[in-house]
Chain A
């Protein structure tokens, strides 16, 4: 009698452990079917042409980018054959929501990121100045003969610039 109870207990423990493993495996496996890699959830990026990267098992994805969390009137809504998308049109500053739909397995994952402005300049010892940020900038002072300098992203102006103060101009 005692022997039988012991065996029963062992079988019960084994079954319980196997059940836990199966549940754990299924959970991890299903949650891994679609993984958002870039931009990370709630990431603040200075890249106005962000690239989107995810990991999935499918070869057919829906990609949606929207300014609204309910994805109405999306900025981009396309179907892709690979797990990568690069924005080719400059994004305005603000919050964005994006969603990946695995069209083969009917899974989806969504995430949010923020494009934030960065005002940055480089000035060398010869007075050459470059807009090193992600927004159009204007000088507060009239540093050019024609007035204030307005620089597009990455644009450089040369010529003995000293003590220039720049602010966002878009």
Chain B
């Protein structure tokens, strides 16, 4: 009977170990990750143009990585790569490469002509999934000018917090063969119920062929209500007209970061940061995510981690979860910040995280905390000390020479 009990216990341990192993295997995710920068390079067409364009392959997971590089697209025969295969070690953040452009004598069709520099990761090492690979593209746009006058416009609004005038910029891209003598625009602004609120006039500019210029207008929005607005810009360039529009929000605070909590934490393990948010906006927000950044005592960034994207309903509270692998980190106080991104905007709060063996306590601090901690190391003290030392040395020399002269005499 004791023999049977022993067998029973052994089989229980075996089952437990089996479950743990399966769980651990499940938890190990062999991620492929690759990046390329810049994502796009735009040049103007010139007959027989020769040029070299630099780009970098980013090892954003900091692992041993291999990638193949090839060219696709209409202009692929105009591109010669410097490297067709590239290898990155886990200690390399990125590796530079380049391609040579040799454009033809003529491209008939005006507009954008493209070549795509594709960087495709080749899975290497243990656990690599055969067949599943990610690739990223660095685009080359070659702009062939349109006959006569032709411009494209893009409207952007900045400083939309509502406490200062809102700035409107219209980026005008002269894609025509001819210069534009006079480009100007009017911007009509409409409210939530499509009622026209105001019309703004921009400055005017001369734009040379294949060049870009910004037109500008400011809207004094001090007494307007927070909310969603629609702007339509009508751009007149010489005898031609084009338009561009934009939906934008005016408001000081859309998302408020309420608090951050970390529960069930053990130093060396994975810390789950629950970031509690409130959407104070009257509309649902899509793809909201948070990023935590922690610095050491000198203000150097030591870790940065993001939450997944979540949608947050209008006028409601929600939480985002971000995970920090604390293996290799020590107990201590870390300054940093949490930034929440949504609708091309961000909300930030400076924080202090006190990490102990079994807890992380976070508190929000004033905006000056980081500025002070980073900027605290000054040269002034060293300089004053240096001056005193030099003056002392000179006085010493003076006394020495004086004594020597006296001795001689």
Contacts and interface: CB of A to CB of B under 8 A. Distances in A.
Contacts of B203: 73
A152 B310 CA distance: 12
B164 A140 contact: no
Interface residues of B, number: 74
Contact of A73 (B29, B214, B286): B214
A72 B202 CA distance: 13
B116 interface: yes
Contacts of A90: 344-346
B136 interface: yes
Contacts of B120: 165
Which has the most chain B C-beta neighbours within 10 Å: A67, A121, A155? A121
Nearest to B306: A154
Contacts of B135: 163-166
Interface in B34-76: 34-40, 58, 60-61
A118 interface: yes
A163 B132 contact: yes
A119 B39 contact: yes
Contacts of A148: none
A37 interface: yes
B148 to A, nearest CB: 27
Contact of B35 (A67, A93, A120, A155): A120
Nearest to A88: B346
A17 B394 contact: yes
A24 B188 CA distance: 57
A58 interface: no
A164 to B, nearest CB: 6
A118 B38 CA distance: 6
Given A37-B374, A89-B159, A18 B391 contact: yes
A86 interface: yes
B169 interface: yes
Contacts of A78: 164
Contacts of B31: 122-125
A117 B37 contact: yes
B339 A49 contact: yes
B309 A156 contact: yes
Nearest to A116: B38
Interface string A94-116: 00000000000000000000001
B33 A122 contact: yes
B405 A116 contact: no
A119 to B, nearest CB: 4
Interface of A: 3, 6-7, 10-11, 13-14, 17-18, 21, 25, 28-29, 32, 37, 46, 49, 53-55, 67-68, 72-76, 78, 82-84, 86-90, 92-93, 116-127, 129, 132-133, 135, 140, 152-156, 161-168
6 contacts: A29-B383, A32-B379, A32-B380, A119-B137, A154-B308, A167-B139
Given A154-B287, A155-B309, 14 more contacts: A18-B391, A28-B383, A32-B380, A73-B167, A73-B203, A75-B159, A75-B169, A88-B348, A89-B160, A119-B36, A120-B33, A125-B132, A154-B308, A162-B133
